[in-house]
Amino acid sequence: MTYPTTLLPQLIEAVANAIDENAEAVAALDQAIGDGDHVINLQRGLAALLAQREELGLLTWSAAWQKMGMTLMSTVGGASGSLLGTLFLEMAKAAADQALDLKGFAVVFAQGVEAMKRRGKSEAGEKTMLDVLVPVAVYLQSDACTAAEGLTGVQAVAIAGVESTRAMLATKGRAAFLAERSVGHIDAGAKSCQLMICAISAVLSAAPT
C-alpha cells in the first residue's frame, strides 16, 4: 500500500507530542554527555513544521520533504539541524523516482541516511542518532520487513538501536570529550530519533489500508 501526504499533519503532530511528552527525559540524557540543548532545538524545528503542517499535507512527498528539510536546517540549528535537514532533502531528491509503497520508501529512507553519514562523517557505532537510523534503514530493506509486520518491526529495531548506544564510546560531538565517561549513557539524539520513528509507525499502523 501507499500512504497519502494528507497524513503529514497527523504525523507531524504525533512526532511533536512524542518529543514534548519525553522532553525532560531526553534533556537529562543530553545534559549527562552532551550540550544540553538538543530537545529545545528540536522542539523549535517541530514547532515550525507544525505551523506548516496543513500546507505540507497538500504537497507531494518529494516537495513536502524538500520544504521540511529546509525548515529543519533553518530552525533547529547545530549538528542536529544540519543532519536532519540533510535526511529530508536527500529523501526529497530520491522520492522523485520512486513509488512510495513500503519498499519504495525503504530505498528513499536509506539514501537519506547515507547522506546523513556523509554530512556528519560518521557511521553507526559512534553513539549518535545513526545508531537508530542505520539499523532501521537496513531493516526496512530486508526480507523480514513485510507489509503486515514492517511497522511493528521498525519500532523494535529503533528501540534496540537506542539501547545499543548505552555501551558505546562516543567519538562524535561534545560527548567525545568525555571519552570513557560517555559509556553507560544513552545518546540523546538516538533517543529522540527512536521516539519520532515509533510515533510515525504508530500513526501509519492505524491508517486505513
The CATH number assigned to the domain holding 82 equals 1.25.40.340
Please check the confidence at residue 177 and state whether its pLDDT lies above 50.
no
- Name which of 34, 24, 33 is nearest 183 in CA terms: 33
Counting the structural domains of the chain, the total is 1
Q: What is the mean pLDDT of residues 40-56?
A: 97
Q: Are 169 and 183 in contact (CB under 8 A)?
A: yes
For residue 80 the three cell numbers come to: 542536529
Domain, as residue range, for 30? 5-206
pLDDT band at 131 (very low <50, low <70, confident <90, very high): very high
Total length of the chain:
209
Return the percent helix, strand and coil in the chain, to nearest 5. 75, 0, 25
Between residues 97 and 199, the one the model is more confident about: 199
What gap in Å lies between CA 1 and CA 132, rounded to an integer? 25
Whole-prediction pTM? 0.92
Considering the chain, what percentage of its residues have pLDDT values greater than 90?
69
What gap in Å lies between CA 83 and CA 194, rounded to an integer? 15
What gap in Å lies between CA 146 and CA 139, rounded to an integer? 10
Q: Which residues contact 124 (CB under 8 A, 6 or more apart)?
A: 130, 131, 134, 135
- Name which of 82, 18, 75, 84 is nearest 47 in CA terms: 75
Q: Are 123 and 117 in contact (CB under 8 A)?
A: yes
Please check the confidence at residue 175 and state whether its pLDDT lies above 70.
no
pLDDT band at 148 (very low <50, low <70, confident <90, very high): low
Kindly report the average pLDDT of the chain as a whole number: 89
Q: Are 35 and 81 in contact (CB under 8 A)?
A: no
